[in-house]
A and B are shown apart, each in its own frame.
Chain A
């Protein structure tokens, strides 16, 4: 019986195919790692919101404190998106007969239509979550801001953003970096919402001092976030 022999050129072909396959795998992994890297995937994420709310105007120009709207941040795990009522405080809609309150800001602006609709129908405004951590991460705002970590450390210069985008990658490695070395990111609690604050003394020294004073001991074990 005759053995089945491949023609000679198959040898080279096989080698080429293997090299190609290896190259393909390498390419695919680099692509995959690149795409799923938190910096690629998350940083810069800027979804469109149902209402063109501009933090640059409200928090930046008008210098409203973060806490005016996100008032639960020092007490709760969520720095809650404000209810429609908070917006209506300034932006109340025209009443049935067409009159508006004297203090109402831009009551007839089309950009405020979704807010007015929400107020009148009682349906929530469906904001899109920008800083979305996976469900198995339990993050608590109160623990951080009370320790002196500013909004700007994780959220960037929100007061300069017309549309909010994710400024930092919020990956686990990034969080752990600060947990292992919190001093550079600590500031006195009263300046937590002052996004352009600069420390008067050496941040490392001040951070160390604050850490001692307030007993700040960020844990790095799994259960502190993944319970």
Chain B
């Protein structure tokens, strides 16, 4: 020993209390520095190894003894706590955001100042809070570490960090220089917007730079609706459909309920008329489309129609409606064949005729919706038909659009860039390089411009070609405003200050324009004041922010008159089926149901979502009918090459019965090359998810291309779907068919009206469900009826398969993402899944969606087999999980007949900082490479690690919160509707209800007692607390399928469902019937 040790100034035992203190804390560091002048991490000079070892071992020995306490936690309160803030308690703030072309009226739940969960604003008069999966998932995008942090610019070919101050200086100079010649060298490329403040600033931009060129590019919106509305009304208007006023709805190539800017509101309104038990007449939905869309699955009658024939069908329909309105009458014949037994031409004929009759019979309360895909002419014809039927102002209303400066289309825009006369381009969001059509080389055009400025959230495809990359603030962290499609003005209120130094479009525009006011809060407040006649008091402003809307800030529908022409859309007659030719495939391009136009590619929740109908995750597929596949010589999972001109894309084939023959549907938005760690990035080495179809999606056919070439490829790939597509032998198929009523029960409205007991009657087995013993929960229900018993009901009539509930559950319960490889092994972790069942055959199929979550069985098979009692039943009927007890036997998942239990095969939460062993400590959150993302976790719910089983808990954290709130108010009983699960709140159609089944007046009790209610696999006597309400289709008698007719006959003849000797009482399912269940 060469140096004597000096005595430490603080008593030694203070430092040795825990091993952590030993390792990391500042006191220890300070001590070390005092003792040993060299830094603690180096081997200190001047002290012998022996002495060092003595010191360390002494500390370890002492530390070990007393280090068995939990890690010391510090409490760091505010210095000044904001008034009214309750640390750790949730707070709610409204906001109205514009996202993915839709307007959402939201109420965001936050905790300790950070937003955690998105809900709808129930009190909002426009949508009642209806929203969809994009709104639910956007919270993950807020905490995405791949977002661009801080301003960057390109200097000498390399990306260099910069700052807003730098940019503002440069922009100020540019602005002045450009103004000199009226902005002739300035072009602006932006997404369309419904924000009045943005519109005002853009107008100011135009007035400051009158020679500048604007382009509003939207990958998904071809402007057909607005164009058509202009033609028929003479005004700049947008059509809005009040579907709760419509008894007949006809969608022609329009996915009204999920793929439409007003989808959520439309779904809500439509669902109000889907209750067959209510007094009001149930509506009838007709759909004619090429692909199988979620709207098509909800149709009461659906016609698979190649989109090339859609205009002809519409023209034919117009003719017939006009004839019927004029008093024409005709015979229909005996019509002995059922709808699905007809061949294509006859089917089309009967469909159009029945539809025409229905529309005329219910004129004034019907809606004809023509999809934008068919072009402005067709949409205008649809609006014209609505007018002829007297639907205007009752069902179809027109509201003013939000004005934008005059603009050119993308092609002209790029042409202008190519001239070399442009000096500055300002790109405001939208990632146009990734979403531009294949024949427009926007990237190269941008490269030519000396000053290219991109305001975007990510360092994406567009950012790669621009000089300035400005971080765009997420809608949840921006001030702004929007007007809903039906005229309600609302403020976008930030839930948190910009996390990554982002700024909103309002700020950037205001600064560029040199506006006197650049604070977005003030800009928006000024707009609100303007709309209220000049000023807005503090009280009114705060009320507007608190409520999310103000009735005085609503616009009335426009007073319109029909000024369109009466020229028929086309003289051609519609054909029921087209000739199948591999050189003339009709390709429908539709936005990805999970990624939209690709902007959500880095959102892990959306990537891993099982897309409605195909149930594909992480990629896109080419969907076609079995006949088409055969004609192309491909089959499921084989690659097919689609070619247009010189460009070819290869996609895996997905065979789906019910698609029109000769039609291939592909989703765009996948296959991005610079999305981020999740979505794929060549630069970062992250695998690309899916295939980009932009090469064959050219500007003249962005949504529909007739005449694509398709060729088979010899490669077979595995497609990561969550509901498998097995081929099954005929005997298996038969047996499955017979038992399909265990899962899904369906009937027609006529059947329900004549035989309301048909749902129970469908059962074939005759035994009575009896138990040998009574479960404790049953005793509790009997002896203590005052204890609330939680139950849920899911209405299959209303579920549209949009999957908002799946994302909501993931958001609320910290459900992890597993990645594509694990999905291939059936290890996806979604607590709530949506099964879809095909009924029919290869040629004619109908679909039912069934959301499945833990059924919370009273006689739970999982509870009985857990060796360590990790899953127990609460006194209130919830099947609960104690994650810490679980040892990972997986017997419970094995025993569950519904296969709703999910096992953490790996530590899927590792990226959030949940670790094991030496990684289990708080400070290791620093090493988690997605530290920002861990802010999205809900602190009310445990984060599960490896080896633990998890499943739906009926949002027990919300149930507890409801109980505690009732306790705070003196122990009052819990009111119905006070506790709502995440899935229930997210559902736009109110398909899910949850509550106390012991309360006879509760919504869920009424649904449990409804004639349509049944239990899935009820004969197993597990007594699930989830009831399903059978699907009832309001199908026109002339359009009933053979199975539907047979059902009527069966029940009319007094038989119930028939006996188990093969007599068909339930709709067919055949070789292509999708199987439920997970292994």
Q: For residues 864 through 911 of chain B, which have their beta carbon under 8 Å from a beta carbon of chain A?
A: 872-876, 878, 880-885
**Candidates A41, A74, A128, A221; contact of B873 at CB < 8 Å:** A221
A77 to B197, CA, bound (A): 41
- Are B957 and A83 interface neighbours, CB within 8 A? no
Q: For residues 50 through 85 of chain B, which have their beta carbon under 8 Å from a beta carbon of chain A?
A: 65, 68-70, 72-81
Residues of A within 8 A of B872 (CB): 221-223
* Stretch binding the partner chain, chosen from B522-530, B753-761, B965-973: B965-973
- Are A47 and B78 interface neighbours, CB within 8 A? no
Q: For residues 28 through 68 of chain B, which have their beta carbon under 8 Å from a beta carbon of chain A?
A: 65, 68
* Known pairs A36-B68, A85-B81; A76 contacts B89 (CB<8 A): yes
- Are A140 and B86 interface neighbours, CB within 8 A? no
**Candidates B87, B940, B968; contact of A74 at CB < 8 Å:** B968
A217 to nearest B CB, angstroms? 7
- Are B882 and A222 interface neighbours, CB within 8 A? yes
- Are B77 and A129 interface neighbours, CB within 8 A? no
**Candidates A42, A76, A83, A217; contact of B78 at CB < 8 Å:** A83
A186 to B880, CA, bound (A): 28
A6 within 8 A of B: no
- Are B77 and A83 interface neighbours, CB within 8 A? yes
- Are B884 and A76 interface neighbours, CB within 8 A? no
Nearest B residue to A32 via CB reads B68
- Are B964 and A223 interface neighbours, CB within 8 A? no
* Stretch binding the partner chain, chosen from A8-16, A92-100, A101-109, A118-126: A118-126
* Chain B interface residues (CB < 8 Å from chain A): 14, 65, 68-70, 72-81, 86-89, 786-787, 872-876, 878, 880-885, 940-942, 953, 956-957, 960, 963-964, 967-968, 970-973
- Are B88 and A226 interface neighbours, CB within 8 A? no
A147 to B967, CA, bound (A): 7
A25 within 8 A of B: no
* Known pairs A47-B72, A223-B874, A223-B880; A215 contacts B971 (CB<8 A): yes
- Are B970 and A227 interface neighbours, CB within 8 A? no
Q: What are 20 A-to-B residue pairs whose CB atoms are below 8 Å?
A: A76-B88, A77-B89, A83-B80, A84-B78, A119-B79, A127-B74, A136-B884, A142-B967, A143-B967, A143-B968, A147-B967, A215-B971, A217-B875, A221-B880, A223-B874, A223-B878, A223-B882, A227-B880, A227-B940, A227-B960
A60 to nearest B CB, angstroms? 22
Nearest A residue to B954 via CB reads A223
Residues of A within 8 A of B880 (CB): 221-223, 227
Nearest B residue to A120 via CB reads B79
Nearest A residue to B89 via CB reads A76
A143 to B89, CA, bound (A): 13
Residues of B within 8 A of A72 (CB): 86-87, 89
B249 to nearest A CB, angstroms? 42
* Known pairs A75-B86, A146-B967, A219-B875; A136 contacts B80 (CB<8 A): no
A119 to B874, CA, bound (A): 47
Residues of B within 8 A of A227 (CB): 880, 940-942, 953, 956-957, 960
Residues of B within 8 A of A222 (CB): 872, 880-882, 885
Residues of A within 8 A of B68 (CB): 35-36, 41
Residues of B within 8 A of A3 (CB): none
Closest 7 A-B residue pairs measured CB to CB?
A223-B880, A124-B76, A222-B882, A215-B971, A214-B971, A83-B78, A83-B81
A78 within 8 A of B: yes
Nearest B residue to A45 via CB reads B69
A224 to B957, CA, bound (A): 9
Contact with B along A30-54 (1 / 0, CB 8 A): 0000011000011001011000000
**Candidates B69, B86, B874, B973; contact of A221 at CB < 8 Å:** B874
Which of A72, A142, A213, A222 gathers most chain B CB within 10 Å?
A222
Residues of B within 8 A of A138 (CB): 940, 957, 960
Contact with B along A185-227 (1 / 0, CB 8 A): 0000000000000000000000000000111110101111011
- Are A132 and B73 interface neighbours, CB within 8 A? yes
- Are B88 and A77 interface neighbours, CB within 8 A? yes
Residues of B within 8 A of A76 (CB): 86-89
- Are B875 and A221 interface neighbours, CB within 8 A? yes
A157 to nearest B CB, angstroms? 21
A98 to B855, CA, bound (A): 69
Given contacts A222-B881, A226-B942, 6 further A-B contacts (CB under 8 A): A72-B89, A74-B968, A78-B88, A142-B967, A227-B940, A227-B956
A57 within 8 A of B: no
A215 to B880, CA, bound (A): 23
- Are A125 and B76 interface neighbours, CB within 8 A? yes
- Are B89 and A75 interface neighbours, CB within 8 A? yes
A110 within 8 A of B: no
- Are A124 and B940 interface neighbours, CB within 8 A? no
A40 to nearest B CB, angstroms? 9
A45 to nearest B CB, angstroms? 7
- Are A81 and B89 interface neighbours, CB within 8 A? no
Residues of A within 8 A of B882 (CB): 222-223, 226
- Are B79 and A118 interface neighbours, CB within 8 A? yes
B702 to nearest A CB, angstroms? 48
B615 to nearest A CB, angstroms? 30
B789 to nearest A CB, angstroms? 13
Nearest B residue to A84 via CB reads B79
A80 within 8 A of B: yes
Residues of B within 8 A of A213 (CB): 971
Nearest A residue to B884 via CB reads A136
A35 to B885, CA, bound (A): 22
Residues of A within 8 A of B79 (CB): 83-85, 118-119, 122-124
- Are A147 and B971 interface neighbours, CB within 8 A? yes
Residues of B within 8 A of A119 (CB): 79
Residues of B within 8 A of A85 (CB): 78-81
**Candidates A77, A82, A216; contact of B77 at CB < 8 Å:** A82
B444 to nearest A CB, angstroms? 51
Residues of A within 8 A of B87 (CB): 72, 76, 78, 80
Nearest A residue to B943 via CB reads A135
* Known pairs A41-B68, A216-B971, A227-B941; A84 contacts B881 (CB<8 A): no
**Candidates A35, A41, A221, A226; contact of B884 at CB < 8 Å:** A226
Which of A47, A213, A214, A215 gathers most chain B CB within 10 Å?
A215
Nearest A residue to B973 via CB reads A215
Contact with B along A136-160 (1 / 0, CB 8 A): 1010101100110000000000000
Residues of A within 8 A of B973 (CB): 215
A215 to B969, CA, bound (A): 12
- Are B968 and A223 interface neighbours, CB within 8 A? no
Residues of A within 8 A of B971 (CB): 146-147, 213-216
Residues of A within 8 A of B69 (CB): 41-42, 45, 132
Residues of B within 8 A of A128 (CB): 72-75
A125 to B787, CA, bound (A): 44
* Known pairs A223-B878, A227-B956; A124 contacts B968 (CB<8 A): no
Residues of B within 8 A of A81 (CB): 75, 77
A42 to B69, CA, bound (A): 8
Contact with B along A59-92 (1 / 0, CB 8 A): 0000000000000101111101111110000000
Residues of B within 8 A of A224 (CB): 874, 960
- Are A136 and B942 interface neighbours, CB within 8 A? yes
Which of B79, B80, B972 gathers most chain A CB within 10 Å?
B79
Which of B75, B78, B786, B942 gathers most chain A CB within 10 Å?
B75
Which of A78, A82, A219, A223 gathers most chain B CB within 10 Å?
A223
Which of A74, A84, A216 gathers most chain B CB within 10 Å?
A84
A134 within 8 A of B: yes
A48 to nearest B CB, angstroms? 7
Residues of A within 8 A of B81 (CB): 80, 82-83, 85
Nearest B residue to A148 via CB reads B971
* Known pairs A84-B79, A128-B74, A219-B875; A142 contacts B968 (CB<8 A): yes
A76 to B76, CA, bound (A): 17
A214 to B973, CA, bound (A): 10
- Are B968 and A146 interface neighbours, CB within 8 A? yes
A124 to B70, CA, bound (A): 23
Which of B787, B873, B956, B971 gathers most chain A CB within 10 Å?
B971
